[in-house]
Amino acid sequence: MRNPLAERVVDIKPSGIRKFFDIVNEMEDAISLGVGEPDFDTPWHIRDEGIYSLEKGRTFYTSNAGLMELREEISRYIKRKQGVTYDPVKEVLVTVGGSEAIDIGLRAMLNPGEEVLIPQPSYVSYEPCTVLAGGVPVIIELKAENEFRLTAQELEDAITDKTKVLILPFPNNPTGAIMERKDLEAIAEVIRKHDIFVISDEIYSELTYTEKHVSIVEIEGMRERTVLINGFSKAFAMTGWRLGYACGPEPILEQMTKIHQFAIMCGPTTSQYAAVEALCNGDEDVKEMRTAYNQRRRFLMNAFKEMGLECFEPFGAFYVFPCIREFGMTSEEFANRFLQEEKVAVVPGTAFGDCGEGFLRISYAYSIENLKVAIGRLADFVARLRAEKQ
C-alpha cells in the first residue's frame, strides 16, 4: 500500500505541550498550574442566552460570516475599545475560536515560499499553520531583557525580500508580555517601510493590568495592512464555546470568508447568540475577572520575590514566566522533576519555542487558595535544589 500521508503534515512536530499533558494525566493527584484557559465559568447571563436560543429552536446555520447582529456588536466593541471602525458587512468574520482565524488568515495571505515572522515564545499554532499554508516560518527570538517585547531592531533584522506577514501575539501567551503604544509605533514604522502585513492575535486584549490594551490597528497606516484577531474565550471565559473573530480590510476578509465558507460553513449558532449577550452586557464580568487575575498576579510576583526566583513582571494575559536558569537544568528537566517530586504541573517554556529554554509558564487561572498550595510546593522544591547545589 502507498503511504497515505502528506509529508508536509507528518513533518510537523507534535505540540510539546501534548507530551507533557500525557505525563500529567497519568498522575492522579497532581495539581496543575498548566492550563491556558480561565477558571471562571462563563457568566450565567451569557450561558442563559445560549440556552434560550436553543429553547427557541435557533439551531440552524447562520450566514457564513456569522450572525449580522453579532458582527454589528463586534464592530461596535472594537470601536469602543480600540477606536477603530470596521464595516460589519464586509470587514468582520466570525470564526471557530481565534485559532481558526489564525489558520485561514495565513492561508488567505501566503503564496508558496513567502515568509512569516513569528516572535517566540508564543502560542503553539502559528508555526504549523504557516507551514500548512505553504509559507516559511521565520522565528524571532524575543528576549527577557526586553520584557519579551518585539523591538524594531529585531523586526528589521528578520525581514527579507520574501517576508510577507508578521504575527503579533500580544498580550502574550506564555510570557504575559504586552506591547505599549510606543513599542507598537516603533515596529509600525518598520512594517510600513518594508510593506509587510500583520496578523495581530489579541485574544488576551481584555487582560492587561497597567493600562488599557493598545492594538496595532490604532497606529497610523496599520489598519489597512492588519488582520485583527480576537475572540470570546479569554475575556468572557468562553473557551468551550469555540468562538472568535477576525476584522480587517475587505480584500483579505473576503478571501478568508471564502475559506471559512468551504471549510467550516459558520461558527456554532448557539455560541453566536451567547456572544451577542457577552458583548452587550458582559463588561462588568470582564472587569471582575480582570481584578481577580490581577490579585493573583501580584500574589505570584510577591511569592517569586520571596523565594528569590527571577521573573520579569508581566502585565498581560494570565501567565507568569519565571527564569530557572540558576538551577542548571533545562525547562523540561525542571518541569519533570517538579512534577515527580512535588506533584505540580507547570509547562516548560520550550513548549512555546526553543528560546523558551530556561523558563517556565505558570498560569494563574486558579484561585488564590490553589495557587498558595502549589507555590508553597514550588518554594520547597526551589529550596531543595539550592541545597543540593551547595
Partner 1 sequence: MREELLAIVERNSRIDLKELAVILGVEEIDVVNELAALESEGIICGYHTMIDWEKTSIEKVSALIEVRVTPQRGQGFDNIAERIYKYPEVTSVYLISGGFDLLVTLEGKSLKEISGFVSDKLSTLDSVLSTATHFILKKYKDHGTILTKKYEDTREKVTP
Q: Is 80 exposed, middle or buried (0-12, 13-18, 19+ CB in 10 A)?
A: exposed
Cβ 150 to partner 1 shortest distance, Å: 20
Least distance between partner 1 and beta carbon 37 (Å) = 6
Out of 198, 219, 345, 374, name the contact with partner 1 by CB under 8 A: 345
> CA–CA separation, 364 vs 299, rounded Å?
10
Check residue 368 for interaction with partner 1 (CB under 8 A).
yes
For CA atoms 148, 152, 156, 159, the dihedral sign is: positive
Least CB distance to partner 1 at residue 31 (A) = 9
Q: What would the grid cell of residue 71 be?
A: 458582527
> What is the closest distance, in whole angstroms, from the C-beta atom of residue 379 to partner 1 in the complex?
15
What backbone phi and psi angles, to 5 degrees, belong to 383?
Answer: -60, -40
Dihedral of the alpha carbons of 226, 227, 232, 237, in degrees to the nearest 10: -60
Considering only the stretches 51-59, 196-204, 241-249, 345-353, report the one whose residues sit in contact with partner 1 under the rule CB under 8 A: 345-353
Q: Helix 283-307 crosses helix 368-389 at what angle (to 10 degrees)?
A: 20
DSSP string of 337-374, one letter each residue: HHHHHH-EE-EEGGGG-GGGTTBEEEE--S-HHHHHHH
How far apart are alpha carbons 190 and 31 in whole angstroms?
44
Residue 387 CB, shortest distance to partner 1, in Å, is 26
# chain residues binding partner 1, by CB under 8 A: 27
- Of residues 106 through 165, those in contact with partner 1 by CB under 8 A are 123-125
- Between residues 37 and 254, which has the closer beta carbon with respect to partner 1? 37
- Residue whose C-alpha is closest to residue 187's, from 167, 210, 213, 209: 167
Residues 289-328 that bind partner 1 (CB under 8 A): 291, 295-296, 298-299, 302
Question: Closest distance between partner 1 and the C-beta of residue 17, in Å?
Answer: 5
Binding mask 18-57 for partner 1 (x = CB under 8 A): --xx--xx----x-x-xxxx-x------------------
The interface region with partner 1, picked from 16-24, 190-198, 250-258, 316-324 by CB under 8 A, is 16-24
**Minimum Å distance from CB 39 to partner 1?**
7
Amino acid at 340: Q
Q: Which is nearer to partner 1, 37 or 326 (CB)?
A: 37
**Given the complex with partner 1, which of 80 and 298 has the nearer CB atom?**
298
CB of 32 to partner 1, least distance (A): 4
Count the alpha carbons within 13 Å of 9 in the hemisphere toward its beta carbon: 4
Cα separation, 253 vs 139, whole angstroms = 26
Q: Rounded to an integer, what distance in angstroms lies between the CA atom of residue 86 and that of residue 103?
A: 21
Instruction: Round to whole Å and give the CA distance between 268 and 257.
Output: 15
Q: Quick check: helix, strand or coil at residue 56?
A: coil
Q: Which is nearer to partner 1, 79 or 287 (CB)?
A: 287
CA proximity to 365, closest of 205, 177, 176: 176
Nearer to partner 1, 8 or 298 (CB): 298
Given the complex with partner 1, which of 66 and 231 has the nearer CB atom?
A: 231
State which residue, 25 or 340, has the beta carbon closest to partner 1: 25
Provide the minimum distance between the beta carbon of 96 and partner 1 in the complex, in angstroms, as a whole number: 16
Give the H or E element holding residue 137: strand 136-141
Q: Which residues bind partner 1 (CB under 8 A)?
A: 15, 17, 20-21, 24-25, 30, 32, 34-37, 39, 123-125, 173, 291, 295-296, 298-299, 302, 345, 347, 351, 368
